[in-house]
Structure 1
């Protein structure tokens, strides 16, 4: 919660300054302001039971958590761009930061989408290694991460009205990712 509150304050400051933070600083801020960390931390309980702390803190498992968080956050930066760009005040997300570096908005979207796809590819490859010899609770935890990624995409497609207008004419397979 401290990281969330601290990075939320940093995000507010970022919106108030004429120059945006760099992409690496933004990634850290975004990772903690998204709310994904506490949700992902509970993904084990909803699936196969509490994962052992030694498994939870393994480097490869922490890397999977970071990939899952990045996938959802950066996908949201693309999917919410049209809505958030029309909000009052300065708004910055990964797409806008890339575009602000001398690229077009479309190039910012393309670069962000490529980063999301890379995170998905890395998540899939690493998750296959992690679950190969994992005990059931750790396998359930990894499944829970996958459910969160897919659940976010389903929420955008089927539940939230926030992005409905901008996606009304776009086929879901053209914009969604699968894990």
Structure 2
């Protein structure tokens, strides 16, 4: 049995157009270090390339300088490798990976132990570049204990425990976990790569709300566009659309429309709050505008990449971008990009 679903157009009233980094063409390779460390087999390397991660970096970090763009591409590669490595792990295994990548980024001058999983070295190399090239505001925020990077690393084991226990969370419980497993909070910290904004301004309740809105939008958008792939591969789902169907009894299209409605609601709130000048130092105006616009651009860039790369829709991506329709089928099959 097959079902055709449609994705609502959520960017219609979003005033941030698609923008590509000027450094994309110069830095559009991604696998040299991954190959050297032996992190993926040949087939998974091909799948990684088809995911077009340099395009994702270009569309979401378009305001950064060349070094910032390159370091952020390293981070995006690291995040995708973490997902790939931990996706089928048991809780204790995922917890160990989370602990070692957290430590490697925070202590990049410390050699990794012999026999450790090679992802530790990949994380260390990213942490080293971040420490040497990033602004003080960026590195302090990213690496401080208990920061969003740590939250992301710790969340891997919680998701693995849910898989082991076949736990089905309520929508509210799911979202409390999802805002950490999606890994967007750390990506927003990297927008500070070329900026020096005081931590007390970044920790202002208004800024916390703006960040949370973007993270929730990204959670919803990710779950919308990955749903077909997860159905097709028969993977255990970590997806709000599936929860709305299984727990709340919604039809799939109704669930998709509901999630898309949440996206547009959060977008509207973001646009209103982003007009408020809540900092006192006028010397920060330009940097704050760059940061706030950069977070908004992540929303645009991620959606554009979702329909331009092959991670979610494979070779049908261009057709899906134009028609915004896909077919769900109970037939199990392998699709591109994990």
1:122 corresponds in structure 2 to: 269
Asked if 2 retains the 8 angstrom alpha-carbon contact of 1:72 and 1:149, the reply is yes
Query: Quick one: structure 1 residues 130 and 73, their matched pair in 2 at CA, closer, same or farther if it must change by over 3 Å?
Result: farther
Does residue 140 (structure 1) correspond to residue 287 (structure 2)? The answer is: no
Does residue 85 (structure 1) correspond to residue 235 (structure 2)? The answer is: no
Superposed displacement of residue 167, structure 1 = 4.6
Does residue 67 (structure 1) correspond to residue 216 (structure 2)? The answer is: no
Aligned residue for 1:92, secondary structure, equals coil
Which entry has the higher C-alpha Rg, 1 or 2? 2
Superposed displacement of residue 157, structure 1 = 2.1
* CA distance, structure 2, for counterparts of residue 172 and residue 60 of structure 1: 36
1:58 corresponds in structure 2 to: 204
2:242 corresponds in structure 1 to: 96
* CA distance, structure 2, for counterparts of residue 96 and residue 117 of structure 1: 20
Q: TM-score, normalised by structure 2?
A: 0.47
Give structure 2 stretches of 5+ with no counterpart.
Answer: 1-148, 326-338
RMSD: 2.4
Superposed displacement of residue 104, structure 1 = 1.3
Superposed displacement of residue 93, structure 1 = 0.7
Aligned residues: 173
- Which of 43, 46, 63 in structure 1 is aligned with 2:191? 43
Q: TM-score, normalised by structure 1?
A: 0.84
Which stretch has the larger CA shift, 60-69 or 9-18?
A: 9-18
Give structure 1 stretches of 5+ with no counterpart.
Answer: none
Q: Which has the higher helix share?
A: 1
Superposed displacement of residue 14, structure 1 = 2.4
* CA distance, structure 2, for counterparts of residue 109 and residue 16 of structure 1: 27
